[in-house]
A and B are shown apart, each in its own frame.
Chain A
């Protein structure tokens, strides 16, 4: 039997891939959209039988991150895996399917006054894509990233078998935590089909305190330190800059109205007399910076000055005091310019145990630079990959070291 016929037998929604569905230009031969977990498992089993290379697709918000797949026979579209399986509001836990957009997840749990504390920059992205790329927004300062909030995960393995780890209780140390391992794995270990997250109550009040810092990287760094070492417990502490607009700082405080007001005025005192308050996020809050090349920087709090100092004049940057930021570079920069900027960033951050990874970039840039930079435990990663996907059929070549 031809692969397409075998796929059609187990999944109602199978069709040839369209040219515009290419993953960084690599057009899939077929696209399958399973409607439930068992159908997804069947699709993966057929893919295994026929040796098909599989790339998962969620909301297409980060499909252009990483490298192009070496092969893409089958694109597994998770759009129909979009159910909220269970919202146990009393337990502050939600189980959802991987294709559910984050925005809809937020709406569903907000009905009961709760939230998943992941303010991902692109709300159209799906749960699966958010996990696979480890995406998080400014709230990462207080709540961490997907790896800190995921408490259970179900995947379909390369061989089509369904495997689960964790569970639906927050406190659980039974077995290995595959949820954390899958966060940021770029579809190379398995097809994520379901996930369970811990939730938090929606805060009753919030305040954003923002202040410009001009071009004073030293001053911005000092202000960040002052807020971090205060006891106001900010939910987010951001620093951003773009060409010609100087450096700005923003602090998000959440809680009960009286508490937020008191804490916001304390923070304003730390940020100086130009601080302003708002209940709405300032423009561009938490968004990825503009540019055709996006660089994810790992930069701990005390490296902020060096990070800002290493940015090219054309760069836009947004950084969280959690130690993670994004740098956007404009299309005018040549591949050589980008390579130089990347090298400078890596050089500035290395002494801080930081680094810089290119998320997306034009093809000529991708070909000119090492997207990932040094990967200390690469041989261990390869061995884990070989166990999960011995034939290298899952998103082959998309990830570090050709994984």
Chain B
């Protein structure tokens, strides 16, 4: 038994007194349930799991961790795709699944106040009778939590028009790494700490109460599916639509391989022989949408669409979306294993980058299926491999990394919506300079100088915060060990 085990045992005892025995998990078998989030490639059995029910309890837990120097990680539904909620074996996992109350629905102010464990789609379900919805719609919206959305600044297919979680969060009550409860509110005087907090991947504190903006349900929604011979033709249609001044609610594209997978999995019945399909959805006031929809249809035809299907009702719309929404899982039908990549490029670079991905695939023999939010250049290449073949996973990983390099080379980003987490921290230096990363970590140091709040995420190298000026002698031990850099 080392010291850490003793510390965790003491914390478990303390938390049992605070939360009750049913809210503290120490049993190794049950702890294993929490060893990973939606990205199963990274696993770590948490030292201890707690299931608090209130902000005050979380504050107490955080204070106890801070006093003991024990790291902690917050987790919502565990659907993240970058290992942002990967636990620490030497730490506490704070799970918000018991904080699922919608506290207030305030239609006159177009907002709702929810606890962090509330499921994304449940917000929409609760406010739809009033004619409203919660706009961020990550594909996991049936199970992901609003707290997780805040941490990851989640997007979704419709963020092209409606923006990300950051645009739909008006306030967060936060337990800071000091264990204080503060409310960060857009519009309050002072720094926009809310703006920094949303999307910080849980490294600046834990959201315990979230005020979200509600969006009026659109009067009309129109959806079409257009099939093209080639991905280039589909890309040209996207460019033409954007150039015409149309801002669709969503534009999604799938290539032949991902269509094949979706067909095998859900029989979505997309036009046979398509090299690419495009899903375009417009929403808004009827008079606007009808006009622009006709234009989108025309532009698709001009770009060479050989078939266009228009959804006549919600059922047909669901059918059009079915293939796209099942694409990730469907790839399992045509490949034993795969990596879901998430990169972004300027939309105009789409044809070139896709051609380069094709070349990469041909050179390495690794198949890549492409599914993307074409409107904002967010690619989700699915890199296929057979995990029974020795070395295949490594080759797939290499191709996946090379795709990120392509994104960076074209002025894009290593992640559009899945986050950096543990998975991509090592890629951050390819996109940002040492000074860029150091500057971001100054915010981290302001919030969490001890570095206990979800450590090891986002940044490849922790920054020493130097919160004890004048007393440091010689080289910091972490620097000496090569684990940290000092600025």
Contact = CB atoms under 8 A, between A and B. Distances in A.
Nearest to B448: A383
Contact of A168 (B110, B346, B446): B346
B439 interface: yes
Contact of A375 (B190, B218, B419): B190
A263 B287 CA distance: 8
A231 B218 contact: yes
B176 interface: yes
Interface residues of A, number: 82
A169 interface: yes
A171 B417 contact: yes
A387 B446 contact: yes
Contact of B217 (A93, A231, A354, A400): A231
A178 interface: yes
Contact of B376 (A170, A231, A301, A352): A170
A263 B285 contact: yes
A151 B193 CA distance: 17
A233 B285 contact: yes
Nearest to B153: A173
Interface in B339-378: 344-348, 373, 376-378
A301 B182 CA distance: 24
A171 B435 contact: no
Nearest to B185: A353
B344 A164 contact: no
Nearest to B412: A169
B191 A181 contact: yes
Contact of A380 (B176, B246, B419): B176
B381 interface: no
Contacts of A180: 166, 192, 195-196
Contact of B439 (A147, A165, A230, A231): A165
A355 interface: yes
A155 B190 CA distance: 19
Contact of B196 (A155, A163, A177, A302): A177
A173 B416 contact: yes
A308 B30 CA distance: 57
A228 B106 CA distance: 13
Contact of B412 (A92, A165, A167, A400): A167
B96 interface: no
Contacts of B291: 256, 258-259
A157 B111 CA distance: 37
A269 B416 CA distance: 42
B189 interface: yes
Contact of A157 (B110, B347, B439): B439
Contacts of A172: 344, 412-413, 415-416
A146 to B, nearest CB: 10
Contact of A229 (B107, B196, B284, B437): B107
Interface in A13-70: none
Interface string A214-253: 0000000000010011111100000000000000000000
Contact of B216 (A144, A233, A302): A233
Contact of B446 (A93, A170, A378, A386): A386
Interface string B204-219: 0000000000001111
What 8 pairs between A and B have smallest CB-CB spacing? A180-B195, A201-B245, A259-B288, A384-B446, A163-B439, A259-B287, A387-B442, A298-B187
26 contacts: A90-B239, A90-B242, A90-B347, A134-B192, A148-B167, A165-B432, A167-B411, A169-B344, A169-B376, A169-B413, A174-B431, A176-B200, A176-B443, A177-B196, A184-B192, A201-B247, A225-B108, A229-B131, A232-B285, A256-B292, A261-B287, A353-B185, A376-B183, A376-B184, A380-B193, A384-B443
Given A157-B435, A173-B164, A262-B285, 16 more contacts: A147-B195, A164-B433, A165-B439, A171-B376, A172-B415, A174-B431, A175-B436, A175-B458, A201-B245, A233-B218, A256-B291, A263-B287, A376-B188, A384-B191, A385-B191, A400-B190
